[in-house]
Amino acid sequence: MRWRDLVELVRAPAALSVPGDIIAGAAAARRLGPKTAGLAGASVLLYWAGMAANDWADREIDAKERPERPIPSGRISPGAALGIAAGLTTAGVVAAGLAGGRRALSVAVPLAGAIWAYDLGPKTPALMATCRALNVLLGANERPGKAVWPAATMFAHTYTVTALSQAEVDGATPELPTRTLAGTAVVAAAAGGTPGAGALAGWYAIRYGRPQLDAVRNPDAAHIQRAVGAGIVNMPALQGALTARAGAPRLGLAIAAVSELARRLAKKVSPT
């Protein structure tokens, strides 16, 4: 197994979309601090675990639809992928416990369960969106009730991305990207509230909205895939807006800037 194969299995660069959840939750709960970094690291491990578990669960489907992926191409064995997924899950939960104690575990364990439920069961947009919402609440740690707004906003965004992803192989009708585009407008409005947050929310809306508009005009698989990729790599812009909305505009801008790095890395390793 080469490092390149492992990076592709876990969609390593796509994990740049994860720490912003934790930071947005911590900012909303007024809990930004040393624990935040540890919880962000735990979240990344759980995300990578989910990607590996997803490829293991979908290995037979990928053999037909995406034979170039690490498992169907023979670059990583199914057993190795499952072991990587299990190991990363354990590491993520342990890291969350070490960083945030029992309160963090009370969210990290359900989050890990939701990730595996999505990978092994019906891949519904609502379940994937629930994973994102729980990730935001993990960042809030001791005050999850204070992070309901950013959690709900990330839930809605993730729902649109996952709904689009289900049409990546065969394409869709214009109605699907039309609906998700409308959802994106609502999400952007929800993330605003201050001048800084509004600007970052606008950045998110444009960068994610344009590919969806292209998909409305031509909803073939290629355009849907580009819209899904845009939804993933521009999550930091949305997370930055939510962080700025919570009173940390400079930190929000720094998080949003990660979108540019994610966009460049996505050209080398697909985020989907």
Measuring CA to CA, which residue among 47, 42, 36 is closest to residue 12? 47
CA 182 to chain CA centroid, nearest Å:
20
Whether 13 is in a domain gets the answer: yes
pLDDT per residue as tens digits for the range 188-227: 999 998 999 999 999 999 999 999 999 999 999 999 999 9
Q: What angle do CA 182, 15, 231 make, to 5 degrees?
A: 15
Roughly what angle, to the nearest 10 degrees, separates helices 175-191 and 195-217?
Answer: 180
pLDDT per residue as tens digits for the range 69-92: 999 999 999 999 999 999 999 999
Q: How far apart are CA 270 and CA 110, in angstroms?
A: 28
**Residue 268 confidence (pLDDT) above 90:** no
Q: What angle do CA 136, 56, 131 make, to 5 degrees?
A: 15
Q: How far apart are CA 104 and CA 197, in angstroms?
A: 27
Q: How far apart are CA 205 and CA 209, in angstroms?
A: 5
SS3 content of the chain, % helix, strand, coil (to 5): 80, 0, 20
Place of tokens 């909803």: 219
Q: Which domain holds residue 167?
A: 3-266
- Give the pLDDT mean for 118-122: 94
Yes or no: say if 234 and 208 are a contact pair by the CB < 8 Å rule: yes
Whether 272 is in a domain gets the answer: no
Q: What is the CATH number of the domain that holds 237?
A: 1.10.600
Check residue 143 and give its pLDDT. 85
Whether 77 is in a domain gets the answer: yes
How many domains does one find in the chain? Answer: 1
Measuring CA to CA, which residue among 38, 16, 29, 20 is closest to residue 96? 38
For residue 66, what are its two tokens?
């995406």
pTM (two decimals): 0.93
Helix, strand or coil for residue 247? coil
Whether 271 is in a domain gets the answer: no
